[in-house]
Each structure stands twice: as structure tokens, then as C-alpha cells.
Structure 1
Amino acid sequence: MIDVRPNHENGYLYLLVSEPFSLDELYQLLLNSPNAFVGWPAVLDLRQVRLDRITETDIRRHLMKKSSLGGAKTSVPCAYVVEGVKAQAVVRMATVMSELASISKDEDMLVTEDLEEATRWVTASGAAVDAKRRYSRG
């Protein structure tokens, strides 16, 4: 389950992820995201999800589908908040595979266990500044 909470004041999306969760759910969210939020940076809080059950094959399948979405939905800063070394390893593997597939750039992704660090990082991005500007114009 993904609970999307737009932070209009700071120009980013906070996505709180909990079980049950699948990468297909994340893909569907990207596919069907409202145009108003396209290009917004995101904090993806994965601390409530068991990431160790996600396999390399799952990640490859997700990235194959994600590659069809285009850069406006995939080339935005994203901070992943995880809990523990295993979760960090799974997410880092996915971010490296995403970069190798030319879907996302490594400099646009952060993996951390600290929600405050993730929030500071995305709000400092140029994408957050642009999102705030677009939102304030209505």
C-alpha cells in the first residue's frame, strides 16, 4: 500500500509505503500519477516494508516496465528511506540497475535510514523549487 502525501509547501511528494506492497503497485502509481505531480521529487519511505523478499528478477521486471514511462516520470530526484543493511542493499541494487538501464541517474537518488536527511536532500533539489513555483501559480 502506498499513501501519497504531497508537501506543497516544500515541493515534494512523501510516499509512505506499507504492507501489502508490490513493485507493480509502485509502477501503477507512476503510470497513473496526476500531471500536477509529474516532475516532483519524492521521499519514498520504505521502512514498513520487507524489502528482502524482492528479488533481482522482480527489480528487472519493474525497471523494464518503468523504462516505457519516459523521463518526466522517472528522472526526478528520489530519496529512499529504509531500515537496515539488507534493505539498503536491495534498494542500492535497484538504483544501480536503474542507472545502468539509463532510467535514472545515480546523482538523483539517495538511500538513507534518516527521514530528515531524505527530506532535506529532496527539498534542496532544483525539482522541488520548480514544483513549489508551479504549485504557487495554481
Structure 2
Amino acid sequence: SPVSHLLSSMAIPSENEEVTTRQYTQKLKDQRLAVQEEINSLFGRLTEKISEERSLSAAIGESEAVLRPLRSLAPEILSEIFLQCQFSGASDESPYIPNSFHPLEGPLLLSQVCKRWRMVAITTPQLW
């Protein structure tokens, strides 16, 4: 700082020191403004990149979903899984009596997952 010697004392700056100090202060303010603008630009770029990464992650998830093994199960196996799910809440003390027509239970719930599951559920009479 061109006036660092004045910082450690209470001396009154000369007219020349005042001008120098004002110029130096303005230069620092201009530099700070440039840094703030760069920070804002970087934040904007970071926000764009975060959004891009999220979109890519979602696309990867959708793409990988197509390759999941569950999709390749034979309808007979899927049907058996559905039957096992239907009675998974039963026990010796309180046997579970399924409600086939409750939208949040049993075959109606399973038939809302996708077209394939709906077809398997509909063609499995033991569920109903």
C-alpha cells in the first residue's frame, strides 16, 4: 500500500498522499468488482454444469432401467412373484385376507406398474 506508513500512526496525510490514497482505493475497488463479476460468472457456469450433470444422470438411469433383469423374467415367474407378494402380510395369528379391488393392494396395485405387469396380473386368476 502506498500509504502503509500512515496506517500505523495518526498522522494527517498530505494532499499528495490523499490523492494517491484515493487512486489506490479506487484501483482496489475496481479489482474487487472484477473479481466479483468473475465469481458471478463462475457461479452461473457451475449452475449450468450442475443442471447438465443432473440431466445426464436422469438419462443414464432411464437407459439402465431398460437393461434391468426384472424386465426379462418370464410371465410365469412374474406371476408367481405376484402371488407370493399378495400373501406376504399373512401370519398364523392374523391371516391376511387380500382385497383384490383395493387400489393400493394386491393385483390392482401391481397392474398399475406397467403394461406388461398389468397383462401378467390380469392373466393370473389366482390373484383375483
TM-score, normalised relative to structure 2: 0.23
Structure with greater helix percent: 2
Higher RCO (C-alpha under 8 Å, 6+ residues apart): 1
Max radius of gyration: which structure?
2
